[in-house]
Amino acid sequence: MTAIRLGFIGFGIMGERLLRAAVAHDPGVLAPSGVWDPSPVAMARLADAFPAVRRFADRAAVLAESDCVYVASPPASHLDHAAAILDAGKAAFLEKPLSVDDAAAGRYVGTLAALSGRAAVNFPFASSLAVAQIAEWIADGAVGRPDRLTIEVGFRIWPRPWQADAAGWLSRRAEGGFTREVVSHFLFLARRRLGPLTLLGHSVEYPGGDGSEMAITASLKAGAVPVRLGGGVGTTDKDDHNLWTLEGEAGAVRLRDWSIAERREADGSWREAADAMPNERARPLVLARQLDAVAAMTRGAAHPLATPTEALDVQRVVERILAG
């Protein structure tokens, strides 16, 4: 079986993170073909960090030398790159959101439906070990019939300190904000576990100027299950804190801080899974599983990655919340 050649468009935070995982991956399964970013600064940083990785001159070169292309550029450029990838007959692995334009994203998803389906969106919860543990607990009856889901996210500042290099767009209303960047992951998990999303009510608070949101609240349904969502900046002393809590007639399970699966005990306390680990340790394992799935998707085989339809459902809810 020939290894999948994965090309990269964009060498920001997410591009670098997945490239690092691809360089460390089993080269018999998947290997990076190279990277292109229109920013000379980004390409210089690539040369310093990964001198052995090929630096492409433009998008056309990425397409010519890759079986699948990962798009990790800012959101407004996603659909343009995705269309070029599909036109070249290659598989596409896209960062979320598909776009900040719902109508354009809807047309793109419709185009995918008429093609081979070799496209997916990078929601790592699709390959999360903690999510797999939660799914196992649910299957074993830990929750029973779900009757409510609560999603809570909080940040000391936004963007988070490690995102400072991307603050130029992450801190702006047009493409950035924590609802697109973080809340979308937990809405994807809700949709994947419980069903399509329906937004019932919402609010959003913005600072002056063109800054991204400072706080949101929303009520939704995921399938038939009520969902309460809340998030804000300056609400915690942690750089990033989140909880996804599913409760039912038999008990409750939750995902804490991206990677800790917990089950509620009879006395109301929360017990971590025996193999729980912080996100810094879990992330490389999850990304390796994502890359195995990317290789399967590129070959046209079954895979667990987020579909464009799932991503569009999440995007539409996110953009409606942000529209106020």
CA 143, 284, 154, 79 torsion-angle sign: negative
Which has more confidence, 110 or 207?
A: 207
User: For the ranges 45-49, 82-86, 102-106, 128-132, which has the lowest average pLDDT?
Assistant: 102-106
Domain ranges of the chain: 4-123+285-303, 126-282+313-323
Which phi and psi (to 5°) does residue 57 adopt? Answer: -80, -25
Whether the pLDDT of residue 109 is over 70: the answer is no
Q: What percent of the chain has pLDDT over 70?
A: 95
pLDDT of 262 reads 98
4-123+285-303 and 126-282+313-323 share one CATH topology? no
Peptide bond into 226 cis (omega under 30): no
pLDDT of 98 reads 74
CATH class of the region 126-282+313-323? alpha beta
Q: Are 298 and 91 in contact (CB under 8 A)?
A: yes
Topology adopted by domain 4-123+285-303: Rossmann fold (3.40.50)
Whether the pLDDT of residue 298 is over 70: the answer is yes
Q: Which residues pair with 161 in a beta bridge?
A: none
pTM: 0.93
| pLDDT tens-digit map of 82-104 | 889 988 999 999 998 776 676 76
Find the mean pLDDT for residues 270-289.
97
Supply the mean pLDDT for the chain: 93
Confidence band of 115 (pLDDT split at 50, 70, 90): very low
pLDDT of 169 reads 87
CA distance 149 to 63: 42
Give the single-character DSSP code of 93: E
pLDDT of 75 reads 80
CA distance 246 to 225: 10
User: For the ranges 115-119, 137-141, 263-267, 271-275, which has the lowest average pLDDT?
Assistant: 115-119
Q: Which two tokens stand for residue 299?
A: 């070959």
Whether the pLDDT of residue 114 is over 60: the answer is no
pLDDT of 120 reads 92
| pLDDT tens-digit map of 191-242 | 999 999 999 999 999 998 999 999 999 999 999 999 999 999 999 999 999 9
pLDDT of 269 reads 98
Long-range CB pairs of 26-31, under 8 A, 24+ apart, other chains included: 27/3, 28/1, 28/3, 29/3, 29/4, 29/291, 29/292, 29/295, 30/3, 30/4, 30/6, 30/291, 30/292, 30/294, 30/295, 31/3, 31/4, 31/5, 31/6
Confidence band of 54 (pLDDT split at 50, 70, 90): very high
Q: What percent of the chain has pLDDT over 90?
A: 81
| pLDDT tens-digit map of 137-193 | 999 999 999 999 999 999 999 999 999 888 888 999 988 999 999 999 999 999 999
Whether the pLDDT of residue 1 is over 60: the answer is yes
Question: Which residues lie below 8 Å from residue 132, measured CB to CB, with a gap of 6+?
Answer: none
